[in-house]
Amino acid sequence: MPDQIRSDIALLYRRAGFGLHADELDQRTGAGYEAAVEEVLAGLGNAPDPAGDAVEVPVFAPYEQPTAAKGSPEALATRKAADRTVDEELVALQLWWLDRMIVTSTPLREKLTLFWHGHFATGAAKVRDAKLMYLQNQLFRTAGAGGFEALTQAVAKDGAMMLWLDTATDKKADPNENFAREMMELFTLGVGNYTQADVVAAAQAFTGWTYNRAEYRYVFRPAQHDYGVKTYLDHTGTFNGEDILSIAVNESVSAHFVVAKLWSHFAYPVTPADPIVDDLVGAYGPSLSVAATLRAIFLHPAFRSPTRRGGLIKQPIEYLAGAARALGLDARLEPQDGAAGAAGPAGPAAAAASATTAGPDGVTLPVLATVLGQAPFNPPNVGGWGQNAYWLDTATAQLRLEAAAALARRADLTQVEVAPASDRLAAVAQLLGIDGWGPTTTAALSPELGHPVKLVALALTAPEYVLA
């Protein structure tokens, strides 16, 4: 039984965080699985995170309203300079967030922030303002575990979202339907649960919403708002944008949609019609509580089901953050606390990583995540990133090995190196915080017992580690 409890807690911390070291797992086993669930949930909301908060926030240049005539040489030069600044700030922001994930004492909060970043997807490629991306990230971190309605209302007035889906240009004479449509299809209701007439009514309700870029705040322009009667999701009234959001998130189909998205991210993929969603909507309840839903997810028997334990493939960001955390590296892949990196000649994969996955600042976790298809603060589209098979293709298989080699090359592998050859597989499992290796993986790893760097690199690509 203790071994099963330990395995269950390891699963919990892989799903609700970025994994645990073997000694941390041992410490939690005695208190039991339910205590571990309460521990991860305690890190939500305003729980202190001294290590995460100690990661220095980048400095952002103030927004400057263009003054030169559009299309003029001066305007083009100003735009190029601004783009360079945004790109530099984005790199710093990516490093900041990955470092938070690595050192945080509230891992579920960071994992939930990553979930909302994919759910309410916005990208710096269009927003072009690193401070707006930072403010949205902080919104997910502070409000992501509360009521879904409060979160959705806040996201709708968030500057990054308003620029990404054009709500800031929604005027009475020309309602923009982008946010209205995506709000229902991707954020609150799901496909097939609204009509084009609902999109039109919602867009009218959001007219007058603007954003003050200089002061980084939402502004309502009454003269641009449509005060007429609207019919939306079978409700009729002189609705404004806040009313529309409230109606949407309180629809019964919304509860199933949101709960299914949460279960799919933390357990394994399901549709809103899956019976397991019915088991969880009661916890979501009238308050639309995200934290209560997460508790119900982690305590549900199916979450730890032996047949579904391997139901998720780690996304690149969580995979890399967890690996760096286990190996004592930071987001720049420098050893933490001055620990020495691995010695010895670089293997072919590690050498390839230095050439193939290097960015302007060299090989870093954000660079590796981008190469693997998940650039922080830059999802591919408003739908965010997919799951499981989305991350499995032959084109990135070699890149995954190169990324693992880049990590292993820079890590302190002393505990693997000093272990007798017969114990090295167990030492690698302990280093990475997993239960052990199956027969297929054991056979694949065994030829590299004499090469610690290559051994750890291969272990990082094994199913036992890649699966959450």
Token pair for 37: 């669930």
Is a pLDDT exceeding 90 seen at residue 75? no
- Pairing outcome for strands 217-220 and 230-232: unpaired
- Percent of the chain at pLDDT above 90? 80
Token pair for 306: 């032996």
Average of per-residue pLDDT across 400-408:
94
pLDDT for the residue numbered 345: 33
Is a pLDDT exceeding 80 seen at residue 349? no
**Contact between residue 187 and residue 119 where contact means Cβ atoms under 8 Å apart:** yes
> Which residues is 211 bridged to in the sheet?
218
- Residues composing the chain: 468
Written as one string, the DSSP assignment of 318-339 is HHHHHHHHHHTB-TTSPBGGGP
Query: How far is it, in rounded angstroms, from Cα 387 to Cα 371?
Result: 17
Average of per-residue pLDDT across 10-23:
92
In which band, very low, low, confident or very high, does the pLDDT at 21 lie, cut at 50, 70 and 90? Answer: confident
Is a pLDDT exceeding 70 seen at residue 56? yes
Residue of 367, 378, 450, 433 whose CA lies nearest to 402? 367
User: Measured on CA atoms in the order 318, 319, 324, 330, is the torsion positive or negative?
Assistant: negative
pTM: 0.93
Return contacts of 298-304, CB within 8 angstroms, 24+ apart: 298/12, 298/15, 298/16, 298/37, 298/40, 298/41, 298/266, 299/34, 299/37, 300/267, 300/276, 302/267, 302/276, 303/15, 303/266, 303/267, 304/8, 304/11, 304/33
Query: How far is it, in rounded angstroms, from Cα 117 to Cα 129?
Result: 16
Beta strands in 138-269 (DSSP E): 209-212, 217-220, 230-232, 235-237
Average of per-residue pLDDT across 337-343:
46
**Contact between residue 263 and residue 270 where contact means Cβ atoms under 8 Å apart:** yes
pLDDT for the residue numbered 340: 43
Average of per-residue pLDDT across 225-247:
98
Query: How far is it, in rounded angstroms, from Cα 205 to Cα 180?
Result: 9
Average of per-residue pLDDT across 264-276:
96
Average of per-residue pLDDT across 301-309:
88
Is a pLDDT exceeding 80 seen at residue 111? yes
User: Measured on CA atoms in the order 369, 335, 404, 436, is the torsion positive or negative?
Assistant: negative
Query: How far is it, in rounded angstroms, from Cα 322 to Cα 389?
Result: 20
What's the mean pLDDT when you consider all of the chain?
91
Average of per-residue pLDDT across 371-390:
92
